[in-house]
A and B are shown apart, each in its own frame.
Chain A
Amino acid sequence: MPFELKVALRYFRSGGMQTVLTILGVSVGISVSIFIASLIGGVQAGLIERIIGSLPHITLEPRESVPKPLGDILTPQKSQIYLSRTEKSGLVEEKISDWKSLVGMLDREPGITAVSPSVAGPGFVIAGTSVQPITFHGIEPLRANRITDLNKSMREGTYDVSGTNCVIGVSLAKELGIRLKDKLRTRSGRGRETIFTVTGIFDVGIEEINLRSFYISLTNAQHLLNLVGYINGIELKTAEIFKANDIADHLGAMTNLKVKSWMRQQKEFLSAIQAQTGSNLLIRFFMMLAVAFGIASVLVVSVVQKSREIGILKSMGARTRSVTLIFVIQGLLTGLIGSLVGSIIGSALCWALAQIPGDNLTKPGSLFPMKLEAIYIVQSVVSAMLVGVFASLAPARRAAKLDPVEVIRYG
């Protein structure tokens, strides 16, 4: 065993109560740090799940077509009057052609976990005298489910859009007094009509969707909206939600589509999340600072207590580096052991609090949605060790500078 480690370990052991209390101090700091990280992480994960979970992370849409000039009537040189004709906006259907190969390409793109082509467009449900504006959503259910899992939100019936089946929201059903198996006459903005059978009624908890969204098969939507062979939207899920912007930018450069990332659509939510992350880091930073002061102050005392022995070691020819290392190792050990104990206490605390039941409205959950991740423990242990080393530097330098003549004369 290296000399410095041997001496450091022996001092550590002979420190007794002093060592135990320092380690406990570090442990408390680390356990609080892990606890806070898990709590904020849990709250954040819950919020993200609730807000972003049922939304696509990235959407691809056709670019809005800019009306094209159709040609000048008069050449400007010959007349002061300038007339020109421009295409009427809205004449050109915005759509994505060749979408099957695009979907295939997106399927293979790394970082993307779900790809769902869709056709959406305006229409009406006509029931007797009442006419309800709706939005048709033509989807491929297997793919669409991986963006928004309607199965989880089904109130009645099944999630089935095959043939002329449709799935509607509770608000629309209530508005029109509709029950399962009822038939609904619909008309699209293009004037095409189709009759659908209601096979399922969902409740996603968002009024706008419950009232307006009308899910049918992709093929039916293409027919209704005059988009046979085309789609007008692709929804994506990314493996890491905070990489959505990067992936969106990458896709924007690859395709000539308009690419939207949730991070840019939900700016306020994102900044709320970032504020939480920031306060989490701030709390943990100050926790570490407290740990650093604790370790440093104990080591300063230890250097004074051990000054006579340091003098002896120096009289034997101990190197300055060795004397420094003895105290740096003590700082490191305090950080290491303290953070290991703290990790155990912190994890136990997280586990215990997660057992307290709470009413999470719809689903049963715990009052504290703890999300303990291994990375928090790794981070805490590594940073505590670094902090231990850092905190030991000043006391260690003091020890290294001790003049053996002084301590031997007055020792």
Chain B
Amino acid sequence: MADASPMVIMEGVGKVYGNKIQTRVLWDINFRVERGEFAAIVGPSGSGKSTLLNLIGALDKPSEGEVRISGESLGTLDDEGLARLRRQYIGFIFQFHYLLPDFTALENVLMPFYVAHSAPTKREVEEAKELMERVGLKDRINNRATDLSGGQQQRVAIARALAGRKPLILADEPTGNLDTQTGSEIFRTMRDFNEQDGTTFLLVTHDPRFAEQTDRVISVVDGRIAEDRAVLHPSQ
């Protein structure tokens, strides 16, 4: 039943920051994301893309409207409930890699398991190693996170976001800090996971080249959805 419901539903979602001086950042956002979609969120700086992504990721609470992840309404959950929901469904990839510097690459990928239930099982360690292999870092698993290049760190971050077979990956400008070549590789890696495993990706990007390689582009302008269109691929 839960699996049949859409991955993300946004219904009349708005966001206002501040108490005394209120700044409205998002207005009446409505859309849904089906399972297995690979969608880009684009828009000018300050338009509210990160805010939107944080609301979907249950890191932030909407001022009005309803966010539903895999059928679960976030409004009904307390902080512990939201944390549980993140453990269960959501993997994050941030612009500045954000690996845990005191741990090795493999430990970083295992971290979601630790967070969920302490020591990971043998199968989970196998899964983490396999993910490291799929992002092309099989021989770097015992490197300290800080000893990896930016691109390598971002690959580890992708593996970490996917660990535990998270159905929804939210990536906020994952290539924003990388050179074009490395950025393309990272993009390709995510696309592969989407195509092979059916993982849903929501990807904030400034790069129109990447946006055009997704299935769908949601444009946010001044806190509203200005455009929501499917991308047609010539090969299809």
Q: A residues near B, CB below 8 A? A: 1-3, 6-7, 10-11, 13-14, 308-309, 311-320, 322, 404-405, 408-409, 411
- Measured between beta carbons, the chain B residues less than 8 angstroms from A318 are 83, 115
Q: How far is the CA of A68 from the CA of B192 in the complex (A)?
A: 112
Q: How far is the CA of A408 from the CA of B96 in the complex (A)?
A: 9
- Measured between beta carbons, the chain A residues less than 8 angstroms from B101 are 14, 309
Please tell me the size bucket of the interface on B.
20 to 34
Q: How far is the CA of A11 from the CA of B114 in the complex (A)?
A: 16
Contact B102 A10 (CB under 8 A): yes
B202 CB, nearest partner CB in chain A, Å: 15
Overall SS of chain A's interface: helix
Residue with the highest number of chain B CB atoms closer than 10 Å, among A6, A7, A322, A408: A408
Closest to B161 in A: A316
- Supplied contacts A6-B114, A317-B84, A320-B80, 17 more A-B pairs, CB within 8 Å: A10-B103, A13-B102, A308-B98, A311-B98, A312-B98, A314-B83, A315-B92, A316-B86, A316-B111, A316-B115, A317-B86, A320-B79, A320-B83, A404-B59, A408-B98, A409-B50, A411-B96
Contact B116 A317 (CB under 8 A): yes
Q: Does B119 contact A (CB under 8 A)?
A: yes
- Measured between beta carbons, the chain A residues less than 8 angstroms from B85 are 317
- Measured between beta carbons, the chain A residues less than 8 angstroms from B111 are 313, 316
Q: How far is the CA of A320 from the CA of B118 in the complex (A)?
A: 15
Please encode chain B, from 95 to 119, with 1 for each CB lying within 8 Å of some chain A CB and 0 for all others. 0101011110000000110111011
- Measured between beta carbons, the chain B residues less than 8 angstroms from A13 are 102
Q: How far is the CA of A364 from the CA of B115 in the complex (A)?
A: 63
- Measured between beta carbons, the chain A residues less than 8 angstroms from B84 are 317
Q: How far is the CA of A320 from the CA of B115 in the complex (A)?
A: 11
- Measured between beta carbons, the chain A residues less than 8 angstroms from B118 are 1-3
Q: Does B223 contact A (CB under 8 A)?
A: no
B174 CB, nearest partner CB in chain A, Å: 13
B182 CB, nearest partner CB in chain A, Å: 21
Contact A312 B100 (CB under 8 A): yes
Interface residues of B in 156-172 (CB under 8 A from A): none
Contact A317 B59 (CB under 8 A): no
A3: which of B54, B94, B102, B114 is its contact (CB, 8 Å)? Answer: B114
Contact A14 B102 (CB under 8 A): yes
B60: which of A6, A309, A319, A405 is its contact (CB, 8 Å)? Answer: A405
Please encode chain B, from 64 to 108, with 1 for each CB lying within 8 Å of some chain A CB and 0 for all others. 000000000000000110011111101010101010111100000
Q: Does B14 contact A (CB under 8 A)?
A: no
Contact A317 B98 (CB under 8 A): no
Q: Does B57 contact A (CB under 8 A)?
A: yes
Closest to B92 in A: A315
- Measured between beta carbons, the chain B residues less than 8 angstroms from A308 are 98
Contact B96 A3 (CB under 8 A): no
**28 A-B pairs with C-beta separation under 8 A:** A2-B118, A10-B103, A308-B98, A309-B100, A311-B98, A312-B98, A312-B100, A313-B115, A315-B92, A316-B92, A316-B111, A316-B115, A317-B83, A317-B90, A317-B112, A317-B116, A319-B80, A319-B83, A320-B80, A320-B83, A322-B115, A404-B59, A405-B54, A405-B59, A408-B59, A408-B94, A408-B98, A411-B98
Contact A11 B102 (CB under 8 A): yes
A170 CB, nearest partner CB in chain B, Å: 75
Closest to A400 in B: B79
Contact B86 A315 (CB under 8 A): yes
Contact A316 B112 (CB under 8 A): yes
Q: A6-B114, A320-B83 are in contact. Are A315 and B57 (CB under 8 A)?
A: yes
- Measured between beta carbons, the chain A residues less than 8 angstroms from B50 are 409
Q: How far is the CA of A308 from the CA of B101 in the complex (A)?
A: 10
- Measured between beta carbons, the chain B residues less than 8 angstroms from A10 are 102-103
Contact A317 B102 (CB under 8 A): no
Closest to A407 in B: B98
Closest to B120 in A: A3
- Measured between beta carbons, the chain A residues less than 8 angstroms from B60 are 405
Q: How far is the CA of A256 from the CA of B98 in the complex (A)?
A: 82
CB-based closest 3 A-B pairs: A317-B87, A317-B86, A3-B114
